[in-house]
Chain A
Amino acid sequence: MTKKNLIPFTGDQAVAYAMKQIDPDVVAAYPITPQTEIVMNFSNYVANGQVSTEMIPVESEHSAMSACVGAAAAGARTMTATSANGLALMWEIVYIAASTRLPIVMPVVNRALSGPINIHCDHSDTMGCRDSGWIHIYCENAQEVYENTILAIRIAEHKKILLPVMVCQDGFITSHAVEGLELFDDKKVKDFIGEYKIENPLLDVDHPVTYGPLDLQDYYFEHKRQQGEAMKAALTAIPEVLKKFEKTFGRKYDFIETYKLDDAEIAIVAMSSTAGTVKFVVDELRQKGVKAGLLRPRIFRPFPKEKLITALKNVKAVAVLDRSESFSAEGGPLYTDIKAALYDSGIRPLISNYIYGLGGRDIFPADINKVYVDLQDILKTGKVKTPLNYLGSRE
């Protein structure tokens, strides 16, 4: 692929186009800002006969996920998309989709969860359901959104995994900004995703099965255990899919991305679009001789503990940026997870947390720079004075 064929797409358009190439059997979706353009663009593909998908224009997100569960259990490759309150409304069924082991793929355009109501980006929506049993992928830009949507199909449907996947992008920042995208060939995408086949589909009427039985004290625990094992298995099965993706499209992905981290003394951990801003600041600092780096988790569930520990092993001071507040009074979800991962490893960098960008509050290079200044101070004094910080908030 050459840079000549750049197509101007927003993150939402990138998702819709990936969905067009995937051509799922069923899409059940309900529009919500800032995901709306995904549903609108995909509806156009349906209306113009560019896909064979049967679309279910449901009356709510709760019904969207409910219909997805029905369609996926029936034996159809199934997708939906949502944001914020829409994800919250489908919450109950988000868990049921995962525990029924249905490989539904759901692009999520991250938006602040009400209340107060706000339509702009933060990660409170998907972070809230980090325990739902879905695989979570966070994308930095529209190109990644496009590629990960295609990738997610194979991850979800991998025989050792069979878990639903959400592909997250930052609301408006990624979903509505136009980028030049390199698109894959239709046939290559088709070959990569292959045919959808699940064992024991509901529509095999000659071999009737019961989905969703009452599961009490005698078996529920084992089923939850199996679900946990599937998430663990994903840690080893996902690399197989990544390898195949690289072979097909020439794109190399990993659970994490590191940027100038090898010799870094201070590092920021950040996900999604903010990582782009961090890279810009890292470059500036590097010119000044500051050994700054970035660690970006791309796959957040399953939690790539070993990769993260290895990446941070030489870093002396780390700041974890969380675009959501978990109200634990202990810091954001990414921060507490990373701290917990480091505990057993014996690798104990000085670590602090910055909650930022809630409700779409802009994050500027100056903000990121301030974090690196703090890290330099921490490095010098050997002390974390304030472990929990609010970056860009009026005090």
Chain B
Amino acid sequence: MANIKELAKQPERLSGGHRLCAGCGASIVVRQVLMGTKDPVVAGSATGCLEVATTIYPYTAWKIPFIHNAFENVAATISGVETAYRALKKKGKIKKDIKFVAFGGDGGTYDIGLQSLSGALERGHNFVYVCYQNEAYMNTGVQRSGGTPKGASTTTAPSGKASYGKPQLRKDLTAIVAAHNIPYVAQGSASHWNDLVTKAEKAFKVEGPAFLNVISMCHRGWRFPQEDTIKINKLAVETGYWPLIEVENGIWKFTYKPKERKPVVEFLKPQGRFKHLFKEENKFVLEEIQKDIDENWARLERMCEASCKVA
């Protein structure tokens, strides 16, 4: 469990003054995750909002060593850094214990970077991969990704007379990663900071790869007031839209369960990207989304039960 007084004393590893939008979820996620270890950390980032807004030459917001390579390869890049560390440590050229973390958005993780991620997970590098999942290609202006939810209107799958937005479900990346049988996989949300920092602590602690899939608000793409980031974040969790789960050595577990799951419309309603779903002709989509969430929740409960029994 994280202690907020202790956390407040931790030195900032990502300084303010970067150029992310006010109310952006990404920097909140980064700061909370980096609170998960007191060891020195080397960070990598995929091309995306986080990278372009924190590193415009000759400035950098990173107070820790940082590397950006390209869009689809942050996992492979950090695997090279981590391997160099092992090689040089073995030779006595590096004495310190260093942790490694890679950040990628949903575009760089669910889509174009999935192969690189899968390879690095399979090879078992000792690193933490953090997907800040804001459910579209926000950096280039809200294009659909494999992480965009059903019904959302994006600039490449917009709602219109013949479309209610993205017709497909987003892929279950957390389950895909868990299928690599790595030591630690979790879903988090910055609204539940204690839960997220605790998960980051576990992720940094395990030997081998760890993965955190963290829901991250983008008020430009989701279209809600920028001051409501954490409020919307919270609704994602309270409605079961983004369940807070972890998979620790193969055991699936809810780390937080709302006493009563709120209807998903409470999460969808304040967001412009779902506005069209509230028109009469699209109401069936709202029902489908609720059904999908209920089924996913039930599936997760079965996963928890089944994996516990095996253990």
Query: Given that A25-B84, A74-B84, A203-B85 are known contacts, is A66 also in contact with B70, CB under 8 Å in the complex?
Result: yes
Q: Is the beta-carbon distance between A219 and B58 smaller than 8 angstroms?
A: yes
Say yes or no: is B21 at the interface (Cβ < 8 Å to chain A).
Answer: no
Say yes or no: is A209 at the interface (Cβ < 8 Å to chain B).
Answer: yes
Say yes or no: is A204 at the interface (Cβ < 8 Å to chain B).
Answer: yes
With beta carbons under 8 angstroms apart, the residue of A53, A54, A60, A205 that contacts B40 is: A205
Q: How would residues 78 to 89 of chain B score, 1 for a CB under 8 Å from any chain A CB and 0 otherwise?
A: 111111111110
Say yes or no: is A308 at the interface (Cβ < 8 Å to chain B).
Answer: no
Q: What B residues does A57 contact at CB under 8 A?
A: 123
Q: How would residues 190 to 215 of chain A score, 1 for a CB under 8 Å from any chain B CB and 0 otherwise?
A: 00000000000011110011111111
Q: Is the beta-carbon distance between B119 and A25 smaller than 8 angstroms?
A: no
Q: Is the beta-carbon distance between A203 and B98 smaller than 8 angstroms?
A: yes
Say yes or no: is B224 at the interface (Cβ < 8 Å to chain A).
Answer: no
Say yes or no: is B297 at the interface (Cβ < 8 Å to chain A).
Answer: no
With beta carbons under 8 angstroms apart, the residue of B80, B86, B119 that contacts A68 is: B80
Say yes or no: is A96 at the interface (Cβ < 8 Å to chain B).
Answer: yes
With beta carbons under 8 angstroms apart, the residue of A72, A76, A213 that contacts B68 is: A213
Interface residues of B in 32-79 (CB under 8 A from A): 40, 42, 44, 51-52, 55-60, 62-70, 72-73, 76-79
Q: What B residues does A81 contact at CB under 8 A?
A: none
Interface residues of B in 14-41 (CB under 8 A from A): 40
Q: Is the beta-carbon distance between A213 and B57 smaller than 8 angstroms?
A: yes
CA distance A208 to B42 in the complex (A): 9
Q: Is the beta-carbon distance between A202 and B67 smaller than 8 angstroms?
A: yes
Report the nearest A residue to B67, measured CB to CB. A211
Q: Is the beta-carbon distance between B123 and A56 smaller than 8 angstroms?
A: yes
Q: Is the beta-carbon distance between A92 and B70 smaller than 8 angstroms?
A: yes
Say yes or no: is A93 at the interface (Cβ < 8 Å to chain B).
Answer: yes
Say yes or no: is A52 at the interface (Cβ < 8 Å to chain B).
Answer: yes
With beta carbons under 8 angstroms apart, the residue of A71, A204, A205 that contacts B83 is: A71
Q: Is the beta-carbon distance between A215 and B87 smaller than 8 angstroms?
A: no
Most buried by B among A25, A63, A76: A63
CA distance A202 to B43 in the complex (A): 10
Report the nearest A residue to B60, measured CB to CB. A210
With beta carbons under 8 angstroms apart, the residue of B42, B63, B80, B122 that contacts A67 is: B80
Say yes or no: is A26 at the interface (Cβ < 8 Å to chain B).
Answer: yes
Q: What B residues does A53 contact at CB under 8 A?
A: 87
Q: Is the beta-carbon distance between A215 and B77 smaller than 8 angstroms?
A: no
Say yes or no: is B118 at the interface (Cβ < 8 Å to chain A).
Answer: yes
Interface residues of A in 5-51 (CB under 8 A from B): 25-26, 28
CA distance A74 to B60 in the complex (A): 18
Say yes or no: is A112 at the interface (Cβ < 8 Å to chain B).
Answer: no
Q: What B residues does A75 contact at CB under 8 A?
A: 84, 88, 93
Q: Is the beta-carbon distance between A56 and B58 smaller than 8 angstroms?
A: no
Q: What A residues does B279 contact at CB under 8 A?
A: none
Min CB gap A157→B, angstroms: 15
Q: Is the beta-carbon distance between A208 and B62 smaller than 8 angstroms?
A: yes
Q: Is the beta-carbon distance between A205 and B72 smaller than 8 angstroms?
A: no
Say yes or no: is A384 at the interface (Cβ < 8 Å to chain B).
Answer: no
Q: Is the beta-carbon distance between A71 and B60 smaller than 8 angstroms?
A: no
Interface residues of A in 78-104 (CB under 8 A from B): 78, 92-93, 96
Say yes or no: is B115 at the interface (Cβ < 8 Å to chain A).
Answer: yes
Q: Is the beta-carbon distance between B76 and A70 smaller than 8 angstroms?
A: yes
Min CB gap A40→B, angstroms: 18
Q: Is the beta-carbon distance between A213 and B60 smaller than 8 angstroms?
A: yes
Most buried by A among B42, B57, B58, B77: B77
Q: Is the beta-carbon distance between B87 and A26 smaller than 8 angstroms?
A: yes
Query: Given that A26-B83, A52-B87, A56-B83 are known contacts, is A66 also in contact with B76, CB under 8 Å in the complex?
Result: yes
Q: Is the beta-carbon distance between A203 and B42 smaller than 8 angstroms?
A: yes
Report the nearest A residue to B96, measured CB to CB. A205
Report the nearest A residue to B122, measured CB to CB. A59
Q: What A residues does B51 contact at CB under 8 A?
A: 212, 214
Say yes or no: is B161 at the interface (Cβ < 8 Å to chain A).
Answer: no
Min CB gap A190→B, angstroms: 14
Q: Is the beta-carbon distance between B69 and A96 smaller than 8 angstroms?
A: yes
Say yes or no: is A73 at the interface (Cβ < 8 Å to chain B).
Answer: yes
Query: Given that A70-B79, A76-B88 are known contacts, is A212 also in contact with B73, CB under 8 Å in the complex?
Result: no
Q: Is the beta-carbon distance between B76 and A216 smaller than 8 angstroms?
A: no
With beta carbons under 8 angstroms apart, the residue of A73, A93, A208, A214 that contacts B81 is: A73
Min CB gap A387→B, angstroms: 40
Q: Which 3 A-B pairs have the closest CB atoms?
A: A70-B80, A59-B119, A67-B80
Binding site for A on B (CB under 8 A): 40, 42, 44, 51-52, 55-60, 62-70, 72-73, 76-88, 90-91, 93-94, 96, 98, 115-116, 118-120, 122-123
- Identify 10 residue pairs between A and B in the complex whose beta-carbon atoms are under 8 Å apart, listed by A's number: A52-B90, A54-B86, A57-B123, A60-B116, A66-B69, A70-B67, A75-B84, A76-B88, A203-B98, A213-B60
